[in-house]
Amino acid sequence: MNKPLIQYGKVGVLLGGDSAERAISLRSGNEVLKALINAGINAVGIDVTFDETLFTQLAGIDAAFIVLHGRGGEDGVIQSVLEVMETPYTGSGVLASALGMDKSRTKRLWLGSNLPTPDFVEVSEKSDLEGVFERLGGNIMVKPAREGSSIGMSHVTTEEDLYQAFAKAKIHDDSILLERWVEGPEFTCAILNGAALPVIQLITQNDFYDFEAKYESNDTEYLCPCGLSEDKEAEFKALAQTAFAAVDCKGWGRVDAMMDEDGKFWLLEVNTVPGMTDHSLVPMAAKAAELDMQKLVVSILNGIGLDTTIEMDSKSDNA
């Protein structure tokens, strides 16, 4: 094993959790943990449980590499705990994490910043679903507002399917988004410490890039180079960086968008703790930028601004 890099101290890779994305978080976290250890960093995995032992679980680490997907890890909760403990952590802060996890509030913020995002309405059981459906053109995506990995999402083109899709989304969240469908290819841009990585185009045989297409299918295609002209790729990179900054995201993350038949990009969401599995997009984009997994995780760790000119003290020495 390589000699540990003492300047990072003891790094806790936070994974697992109790959200609907637990299984993916375990896969992502184990990939990150393996890469950190191979890079010579003193890293340990922590399968986080959100109970009265949480502070004890996090004691003794000098920095946290957050790979908790979904609620608890991506919505500002674990970030606020680490803030209280004065433990540096990767990625976005409390407010940006909370905003990024909530698709409705993210889209409202983008609209307020004059950034393009598909028309949408946040609905509940008391809403006129049929009226909203017609208003959005009768071709929509139904989404839980605060879930990731496409969990609970459905593409709907009939009123009959609308109610089934609403019930499916309602299992995961009380806040449901009905969003105008954008016909065209989907693109994603990873952001790493202020820089936009190469854009990836996603091609799936499914109706849309759903959970199965993301994590289980071997038929999903990832184009990188993405197939856009140099100017169009630069346009999307700039839009993604602007959208990322508008939510006050930090360090690393990913912005997803559709491109319509007129070549206009429409922002879908920002991911503040993207997947890091062997099917995940950020490692793919990093590889295209000549960053292997070890270099990627170290770059993300560097993004939290640790003072690497001195040795970490107290906690790691006593751990």
Catalytic residue numbers read 21, 149, 215, 254, 256, 269, 271, 275
Residues 6 or more apart whose Cβ sits within 8 Å of residue 305:
88
CA–CA separation, 35 and 301 (whole Å): 12
Residues 6 or more apart whose Cβ sits within 8 Å of residue 308:
7, 8, 302
Other CB atoms within a 10 A radius of the CB of residue 8 amount to 26
Tokens 């988004």 identify what position?
Answer: 177
CA–CA separation, 133 and 138 (whole Å): 5
Do 109 and 247 contact (CB within 8 A), yes or no?
Answer: yes
- Give the helix/strand (H/E) hosting 271: strand 265-271
CA dihedral 56, 59, 64, 66 (to 10 degrees): 0
Answer whether the bond into residue 118 is a cis peptide, omega within 30°. no
Do 97 and 79 contact (CB within 8 A), yes or no?
Answer: yes
Amino acid at the residue 276: M
Do the strands 265-271 and 186-192 form a parallel or antiparallel pair, or are they unpaired?
unpaired
- Give the helix/strand (H/E) hosting 13: strand 11-16
94 closest CA partner among 104, 85, 81: 81
CA–CA separation, 157 and 179 (whole Å): 12
Longest dimension (CA), the chain: 63
CA–CA separation, 89 and 65 (whole Å): 6
